[in-house]
Amino acid sequence: MPSDLHTHTTFSDGKLTPEELISAARQAGLSYLAITDHDTVDGVAHLYENGFYPTKGVRVIPGIEFSAHHPTREIHVLGFNVDIYNSELTDKLNDVTEARWTRFSEMVAKLQKLGYDIREKDVLAVAGASKSISRSHIGRVLVSKGYFKTVRDAFSELLQKGQPAYVPHYRLEVADIISLIHQAGGKAVLAHPKLIWDDALVEEICRSGIDGIEVFYPQHNPEDTAHYLALAEKYQLLPSGGSDFHGFPTRYPTELGIFTIEDRYAEPFYQPET
């Protein structure tokens, strides 16, 4: 049976609600599914609090995807099997989410100055239930207003680091993220290492007390996968993997279940209900 350890819901920048994601996982025949929204565990809390947990058939791993603060690189760290009610975690996430609100309004102001007709309420309408407002939401507004063909184009021209509408994230270093995940009982995994585009930095993070590395990822070619698998062995890290499913037809994977990993890679991150 296949598994997927990297997915998003409406609680960050995904299209499906957590319930919809779980039924998609069931339909796809997944055995393990990690829900890893950006800087929030609200989607997992929503499942717990609405009686959707434990979920028949699919083994859900409560997760999160943190964005680290870095001057030039995009570094994301996944947390698996975290206690979503851990108070240090929830306190920090409140700060991070609040900072995302300030950040998005700064980005909207920058875009207005650049001449784009965009308002905060446009972004909030796209963000819907998500309190973790991201550049994805802003990009979607720019596409719907006809400024760009794709969200990717909006990133290249405006939203990427170094581009004029970019505003940095809340100041959370990789080391802080790892300790936050650890004290919430979880395992920390370096997400999509290829997208850091700096292998020396990747190896530095591998040595910094992290537990795993995302070896299997849609944008990793077979050589990349072999390379990160070798790094996992070298540094005694757990190899993980996932599709980074967001649920939008314009972004691979277009469906849950078309990019999966073997269950044996997911098992070490799962804790059965007690």
Enumerate binding residues for ligand AMP (CB under 6 A).
13, 38, 67, 134-136, 151-152, 155, 246
How many CB atoms neighbour CB 240 within 10 A?
Answer: 28
Between 155 and 228, CB nearer to ligand AMP: 155
| Closest residue to Mn ion using C-beta atoms | 76
Per DSSP, helices labelled H in 54-86 are none
Which residue among 3, 9, 11, 13 contacts Mn ion (CB under 5 A)?
Answer: 13
How many CB atoms neighbour CB 143 within 10 A?
Answer: 18
In the complex, least distance from residue 218 CB atom to Mn ion, rounded to whole angstroms: 11
In the complex, least distance from residue 13 CB atom to ligand AMP, rounded to whole angstroms: 5
Contact between 102 and 95 (Cβ < 8 Å): no
Q: Is 39 in the site for Mn ion (CB under 5 A)?
A: no
Cα(187)–Cα(144) distance, integer angstroms: 38
225-229: long-range contacts (C-beta < 8 A, 24 or more apart)?
A: 228/193, 228/194
Site map (CB under 5 A) of Mn ion, residues 188-207, x = contact = ---x----------------
Q: Is 137 in the site for Mn ion (CB under 5 A)?
A: no
Cα(20)–Cα(24) distance, integer angstroms: 6
| Closest among 135, 73, 143, 146 to 110, alpha carbons compared | 135
Q: Which does 46 bind (CB under 5 to 8 A by kind): ligand AMP, Mn ion, none?
A: none
Q: Which does 140 bind (CB under 5 to 8 A by kind): Mn ion, ligand AMP, none?
A: none
Contact between 142 and 148 (Cβ < 8 Å): yes
In the complex, least distance from residue 262 CB atom to ligand AMP, rounded to whole angstroms: 25
Site map (CB under 5 A) of Mn ion, residues 213-252, x = contact = -------------------------------x--------
Q: Is 92 in the site for Mn ion (CB under 5 A)?
A: no
Which position has the token pair 């209900």?
A: 273
In the complex, least distance from residue 246 CB atom to ligand AMP, rounded to whole angstroms: 6
Opening angle at CA 77, ends 27 and 102, nearest 5: 100
Which residue among 76, 110, 140, 220 contacts Mn ion (CB under 5 A)?
Answer: 76
In the complex, least distance from residue 136 CB atom to Mn ion, rounded to whole angstroms: 5
Between 151 and 172, CB nearer to ligand AMP: 151
| Closest among 38, 21, 49, 14 to 128, alpha carbons compared | 14
Q: Which does 122 bind (CB under 5 to 8 A by kind): Mn ion, ligand AMP, none?
A: none
Query: How crowded is the C-beta side of 188, counted as CA atoms within 13 Å?
Result: 23
SS3 238: strand
**By CB under 5 A, which span of 7-15, 49-57, 110-118, 233-241 interacts with Mn ion?**
7-15
> If residue 159 lies in a helix (H) or strand (E), which one and from where to where?
none
Residues lying near Mn ion in the complex (CB under 5 A) are found at: 13, 65, 76, 191, 244
